[in-house]
Structure 1
Amino acid sequence: MLEGLHYQNAYVCDDLEAGIDLFRGRGLAKEPMIIPVDQDVMTPDGPKRQKGRICFIWIDNLQYELIQMEIDEVGIYANCLSNGGALRFHHVCYRIDDWADFRRRVDEQDLPIAMERAGAGEDELKFLYLDARKVFGHYLEYTWMPEPTWQHIKGM
């Protein structure tokens, strides 16, 4: 599955501040906000916890997500091997317009779900990761969010 609006490339880093430093002088227009994350996600093995820090850097129409994990019970970030640099490419992210239709089709395709968070509320951000490493060499993330949330994310 490759669909939706590709708006993000994501990287894992051991030191978030060092990762941000790499963007200074390369198009970083404003200082990114570091966001603490502590959430439970669903996996094929049941609920798992993820805790860490992330930041979003927009350059033109592409968002760079930098991820520093503290607790990764899923193991989805820990399996991103070091390349000797501060940043390790992890996934691309697509924005989906119709989550229910997309989610139905996910179950009909051959890439396994690595993790998912789909809140009970109609207006809550939803995401899932497909494990596309055997095909593309990385994960594919898909998100759905209400328009006000999208506008907020674009403004970060």
Structure 2
Amino acid sequence: MFARPNSQHSQVAYVTNDLDAAIEAFGREYDAPAFYTFTNANSGSDENGEQLRIALARVNGVEIELIEPIGNTAPVFSDVLPGGDELAIRFHHICFRIDGPLENWDAHIATLDFDRHPIVFKGALGEMMRFIYTDERRTLGHYVEHVWLAPEILAQIQGATPAYPPARA
């Protein structure tokens, strides 16, 4: 599943019960002091109504994603979080980005065996984005996200995402 044409490991993702505190912890502990933050609420990007606050930073070329589920709308993201008020940050998934035209996404999806790698979360945003999460917890202990972004959206997100260490002038 990992070795596919036009596919590259691009992200490591964590879920948290407090996005602002998690961003602060990543700055203090892991030298990533700023993140690009947004919410998917009302974006129409998923099929089940999951609402998430999301933060992105790029560290040595790998995107770090922090995700805070909003309310009880996103059990795929909140189920691994313990109860209580203490800050929790838990590893959740890695992501493989499919580059190129939308046809590359279709070709990628056609190679996956969904009986062995069941989809637990999926969505799209018009002709700009496609994603699925496959459940690999039985063998790997985590989910795998597969995502395709139209080149202009990818460039926009990458342009807004802080990178560390900062580029030298």
TM range (shorter): 0.7 to 0.9
Superposition pairs of residues 126-137 of structure 1, within 5 angstroms: 126-137=130-141
Deviation for aligned residue 1:148: 2.1
Deviation for aligned residue 1:71: 3.8
Amino acid at match of 1:148: E
Bigger mean CA offset, 57-66 vs 99-108: 99-108
Ranges in structure 2 where 5+ consecutive residues have no aligned partner: 162-169
Structure-2 separation of matches of 1:33 and 1:81: 23
Alignment root-mean-square deviation, CA: 2.2
**TM-score between the two structures when normalised by the length of structure 2:** 0.77
Ranges in structure 1 where 5+ consecutive residues have no aligned partner: 43-47
Is the Cα contact below 8 Å between 2:130 and 2:147 reproduced in 1? yes
**TM-score between the two structures when normalised by the length of structure 1:** 0.83
Is the Cα contact below 8 Å between 1:91 and 1:141 reproduced in 2? yes
Return closer, same or farther for 1:118/1:107 CA change in 2, 3 Å cut-off: farther
Counterpart of 1:113 in structure 2 is 119
Structure-2 separation of matches of 1:103 and 1:71: 31
Secondary structure of residue in 2 paired with 1:24: helix
Q: Return the structure number with greater strand share.
A: 1
Residues 43-68 of structure 1, C-alpha deviations (whole Å, 9 max, x = no match): xxxxx111121110111201111111
Counterpart of 2:166 in structure 1 is none
Structure-2 separation of matches of 1:67 and 1:106: 26
Amino acid at match of 2:51: K
Does residue 41 of the first structure (1) align with residue 46 of the second (2)? yes
Is the Cα contact below 8 Å between 2:52 and 2:74 reproduced in 1? no
Is the Cα contact below 8 Å between 1:18 and 1:86 reproduced in 2? no
Deviation for aligned residue 1:31: 2.3
Structure-1 separation of matches of 2:67 and 2:120: 17
Deviation for aligned residue 1:40: 5.5
